[in-house]
Amino acid sequence: MAAETAATPLVPTLLVPTLHTSRLRLTPFDAQADRALLFPIVADPEVMRFLEVEPLRELTDVDALLADYAQRVATGDKYVWAVRPAAAAQGEAALLGACTFELDRSRRRAEVGYYLARRWWGQGLGKEAVRAVVDFGFGAQGLNRIEALAYAENSGSLALLRALGFRQEGYLREHAWEKGRYWDDVIFALLRREWEQQGVECSAQQV
Ligand SMILES: CC(C)(COP(=O)(O)OP(=O)(O)OC[C@H]1O[C@@H](n2cnc3c(N)ncnc32)[C@H](O)[C@@H]1OP(=O)(O)O)[C@@H](O)C(=O)NCCC(=O)NCCS
């Protein structure tokens, strides 16, 4: 049997671990408690503008989305986190947005996705949440490469990825037919050694 290395992924876990940053807590979704909190976020056309799906119209659409998240998480190849404030008042189930992480374990890579409610944009929170997921991927998951795909028109997402040290690897013309038109995609990736070279301490603590 081949020798295990430090980069060997851990045994797949069905559990979505809670990640902590200075201002945020990334936790599993709670379908019952979160459905009403998630609805205004995923119903907002501005939030959904550069995502692959149309804004959701009904609360039952959110149930279907959360069920889809849960199903994918159960297969062990996807993590979905609810992004919440680090400190919420007791009993307050605040929700800022979500991060997704699709693993290709055998290839030691993953693709990250993210969205926040509009009122939280422009405060560095997107970067903080995605950095926590990246730290988790290169840390606990032992990955070598984390990718992200963003529409070329999504300047916020492109800026976030660049700010985290992701490198643009390609510009994919008319890569997606969504919402009745073609979209150019930009593919970004961050490698483990580049992340290590950043020399930043792990910003996320896992519990
Ligand atoms: C993309 C998104 C998560 C960014 O979140 P955010 O919290 O506003 O981003 P941050 O405040 O952490 O900003 C990160 C960096 O991007 C820059 N940035 C953020 N939004 C920007 C915008 N619209 N235009 C240009 N730069 C922008 C910031 O200045 C910051 O750069 P810096 O670290 O060098 O100062 C948020 O805009 C969003 O939820 N959009 C809708 C969903 C979406 O498109 N998701 C991505 C799909 S690929």
> What ranges do the domains of the chain cover?
19-206
Determine the average pLDDT of the residues in 28-39.
Answer: 96
User: Higher pLDDT residue, 187 or 76?
Assistant: 187
User: By alpha-carbon position, which residue is closest to atom 42 of ligand 1?
Assistant: 115
Residue 125 near ligand 1, beta carbon < 6 Å: yes
pLDDT of residue 41 exceeding 70: yes
Identify the pLDDT of residue 207.
56
Q: What is the pLDDT of residues 49-62, one digit of tens each?
A: 999 999 999 999 99
Determine the average pLDDT of the residues in 165-179.
Answer: 97
Atom of ligand 1 nearest to the CA of 148: 48
159 CA → ligand 1 middle, Å: 6
pLDDT of residue 201 exceeding 60: no
Residue 41 near ligand 1, beta carbon < 6 Å: no
Residue 96 near ligand 1, beta carbon < 6 Å: no
195 CA → ligand 1 middle, Å: 20
Determine the average pLDDT of the residues in 142-146.
Answer: 97
For 169-182, give the DSSP string. EEEEEEEEEETTEE
161 CA → ligand 1 middle, Å: 8
Identify the pLDDT of residue 87.
86
pLDDT of residue 12 exceeding 60: no
Determine the average pLDDT of the residues in 144-153.
Answer: 98
- Contact at 8 Å (CB) between 117 and 98? no
Residue 127 near ligand 1, beta carbon < 6 Å: yes
Token pair listed for 56: 């959701």
Q: What is the pLDDT of residues 71-117, one digit of tens each?
A: 999 888 899 999 999 987 655 659 999 999 999 999 999 999 999 99
Residue 47 near ligand 1, beta carbon < 6 Å: yes
Phi and psi at residue 163, to the nearest 5°: -65, -25
- Contact at 8 Å (CB) between 35 and 42? no
Determine the average pLDDT of the residues in 174-201.
Answer: 93
- For the beta carbon of residue 73, count every other beta carbon within 10 angstroms: 20
Is domain 19-206 given the CATH code 3.60.10.10 in the classification? Answer: no
For 35-86, give the DSSP string. HHHHHHHHT-HHHHTTSSSPPP-SHHHHHHHHHHHHHHHHTTSEEEEEEEES
